[in-house]
Amino acid sequence: MSLLRTLLLCSLFALAGCASAAPKYWVELAGERYEVELAQDDESRARGLMFRDSMPVNHGMLFIHDRQEPQSYWMKNTRLALDILYFDNQRRLVSQKRDVPPCTGGNGCPSYPSRRPARYVLELNAGQAARLNLENGAELTFGPGIPTLD
């Protein structure tokens, strides 16, 4: 029994080590660092932050598109209010939608288009853009491992 218990404990520690080894991505905006999840393919971009009841204050989701073009986001099945920030190829803020309300109306949810073409979209908890006093032209800095055009 002692050997079995030892093997079980070793397996649990190994699994815990694997979980903590997952890469953590971050971005900086207006002097603030946010831990972000990446949405880089059609499936993860479509799912986004759906069905989540909360998100820590210093977290967000970074959507990476294949090319710079007009983007449009909606809040289908999104339960938390968000700031949607659109950035161009140079990672400069080109459009922002602040305090976008949750929407449980399915396909009836309104869309929020960018005013200019964008490649990167950062979603943060509502109120962050106002707190940072963001203005168009603000630069988004990527931490290690986030793919760029460079």
Cα→Cα distances 99→89, 126, 141, 146, Å: 24, 5, 23, 26
For residue 42, the number of C-alpha atoms closer than 13 Å in the C-beta half-sphere is 0
- What is the structure's pLDDT at 50? 78
Higher-pLDDT residue of 50 and 134 is 134
Neighbours of 102 (CB within 10 A): 14
Q: What is the mean pLDDT of residues 85-109?
A: 94
Question: What DSSP line would sit under 41-80, residue for residue?
Answer: SHHHHHHTTTT-S---TTEEEEEEEEEEE--EEE-BTB-S
Q: Say which amino acid occupies 76.
A: K
Domain boundaries, the chain: 24-142
- pLDDT for 4 beyond 50: no
| CATH top class, domain 24-142 | mainly beta
- Provide mean pLDDT across the span 87-105: 95
For the full predicted model, state whether its pTM sits above 0.75: yes
Alpha carbon dihedral 102, 92, 142, 112, in 10-degree steps, equals 20
Q: What is the pLDDT of residues 119-147, one digit of tens each?
A: 999 999 999 999 999 999 999 999 999 98
Query: Is it the case that residue 13 has pLDDT exceeding 80?
Result: no
How much is the pLDDT for 87?
98
Ranked by mean pLDDT, the top range of 48-57, 74-83, 102-111, 119-128 is: 119-128
What is the secondary structure of 135-148 as a DSSP string? -TTPBEEE-TT---
**Cα dihedral: 36, 38, 39, 41 (round 10):** 180
Q: What does the pLDDT read at residue 51?
A: 77
Q: Is-contact 97 112, C-beta < 8 A?
A: yes
d(CA 19, CA 4): 23
pLDDT class for 7, splitting at 50, 70, 90? very low
Provide the pLDDT for residue 32: 96
The amino acid that residue 6 corresponds to is T
